[in-house]
Structure 1
Amino acid sequence: MIYLDYQATTPLAPEVFDAMVPWLRDQFANPHSPSRIGRAAKAAIEVARDQVAALLPPGGRVVFTSGATEALNWAIKGTRGSIVSIASEHAAVIDTLRAESAAGREVTVLPVRPDGRLDLWVARRVLGQGAGLLVAMLVNNEIGVTQPIRELASRARSVGALVLCDAVQGFGRVPIPEQCDLIAVSAHKIHGPKGIGALWIRDGVTLEPLLHGGDQEDGRSGTLSPALCVGFGVAARLMAERQDADRAHVARLWNIATERLPGWTLNGSAEHRYHGNVNVRRARLDVNRLMSECRDIAFSAGSACASGSGRPSHVLKAIGLLDAEARASIRLGFGRYTGEAELRAGLDQIVAAADRQVVR
């Protein structure tokens, strides 16, 4: 199997697996227990917390969650006031905003341009009318486009709004502006385990609880898994250690991908993007048939979070694509463990299968 679906999830780093095994097999204590082995588990979690925090701005705390979806829900539902966000946000944000709007909260969703970037002038004008919370994604999970978070955050904070950044796809890869007040991240997008994420909360910011119970995380209730926390921490440490090497490797892979896709149209900005994401379309392409003919290659027909819905991607619709264009788009994602020869082979198979469809 050639794996080209890094935006859906990343392969687990071998070092992460090795670090997690003892906490799954032998060191099973509840980290919230006062026993000696419970305290040892708690200490391991605090080491992991520091490792995750090292990739985030100073002046805040990391609260472990079940994933980025919980973190985003908590950050949005735990704040007050009107909300301003962007039409191309992840479903975990869009659906939560829809629920908050239905409950009576004022929500404004800003459009994006055909390149996937929002118009800063429009954003400044809307934020100038007052807002309680700005929600914006650092790197789009479907098309890889980056938003001007620093400028947005500065404007939002100047009018007294809190800033929530969905940094899931950019965590450890793209700098996160220090102007953010809340940052959601996830382990399985940085070669860590599934089932754990975190919300970074700036010092002085308080949120209403999303989950009620033992308040184990000072605002978030639920027994933590030492294995998942340790895995997340090691994955974060590796991201910090390998940041330069990973960036250079992804740049080489990007060049290979763009050179091997003649006749395909890139969805989203070519300039303002993370280069580990290639979302492209080709006229008259039947993506379902393409995926069937390339079943030994893992790639996406859109976002994995919306797969099976039968609906065109809301992100591709937001940048102005017609339904037919959106349905003729594929997303290829690669990173640390993708070999250059492997990528070439996968792309050649995809291109050949597409040629058989559309070339007469």
Structure 2
Amino acid sequence: MRVLAAMSGGVDSAVAAARAVDAGHEVVGVHLALSAKPGTLRTGSRGCCTIEDSHDARRAADLLEIPFYVWDFAERFTEEVVETFVGEYAAGRTPNPCVTCNEKIKFEALLDKAMALGFDAVCTGHYARLSVEDGVPQLRRSADEGKDQSYVLASLTPEQLRHSMFPLGDSRKSDVRAEAERRGLAVANKPDSHDICFIPDGDTKKFLESRLGSTPGELVDAETGAVLGRHSGVHGFTVGQRKGLGIEAPAADGRPRYVLSLEPVSGTVKVGSAKDLGVREIQADRPVWPDLPLAEPTECVAQVRAHGGTAPAVAEVVNGQVSIRLEESLHGVAPGQVVVLYRTDDEGDLVLGSAKIASTTAA
């Protein structure tokens, strides 16, 4: 097959490309330039898509003796990922930009261009597995549960999965680094990137304020209605947040307060105790099904964050929306997050589908 290897400049994508070469595919490497003004150096383990990263990707491609190109997707990334991120926060929702990037950039824009150029598949360094049942691709958790990235890939359509390759799905991260060392790849010990790639200093609140400015509102006790303070915008908060609330006086019981809900129209941020964060029902829209939609109530595991936030559940489709009843309460579940549904079979954890959280019901 003709395979386009997306090479970020990290160890995972380099080893994934190497394995595609070993498998006998005709491989071409490509680095995506996602910023019009990329930094020249990474800040510790934060950030990605820097000039240094593109150089690392090129060096890996040279070692593998494969052609290498840099494709400019900066404008598309800004429109699809950055502006969506800002808009969701302004609306009082909590987005996951990695999900958006995989959906709109790596497996829409990139895959579409790859197909137009005659490639058969796009290869990435994601930790996830693919299997095929009755000709339908099935997305599964990786063998390394601590690095599993099936959550951020769960919005991919069956057609996109059909043209995807995840060579690291059966590997553990430690083994991948050891393999990179054996292959002589200079990125073998390069630190992983963390946080949001387009906010390399990790200060999301400052980034959002630079885009949205100040939209003052009140911090309100959800139980008593008492005004506890003021803030510069709901975009500075997310459901489940405890630190940085700017409330001087402690709660009556002396325990911390948490953000329970955001009301962007009125600018109200409601806060309360940890016990009020529990959620037992989730309503989600815009579902994506790797196969067919759920035809009846289905036992599964619901996951609401990329790492953690899982609970046994029963999910069903009601009027096009996904209704999820959790058997155990989850905390810090926010509208705008993605919920992914899994079911375990003989081959491991299978992704049944994903959807955007629209609303929740307290425990």
Pair in the same fold by TM > 0.5: no
Higher relative contact order structure (alpha carbons within 8 Å, sequence separation ≥ 6): 1
Q: What TM-score comes out, normalization by structure 1 length?
A: 0.29
Q: Which is strand-richer, 1 or 2? A: 2
- Higher helix proportion: 1
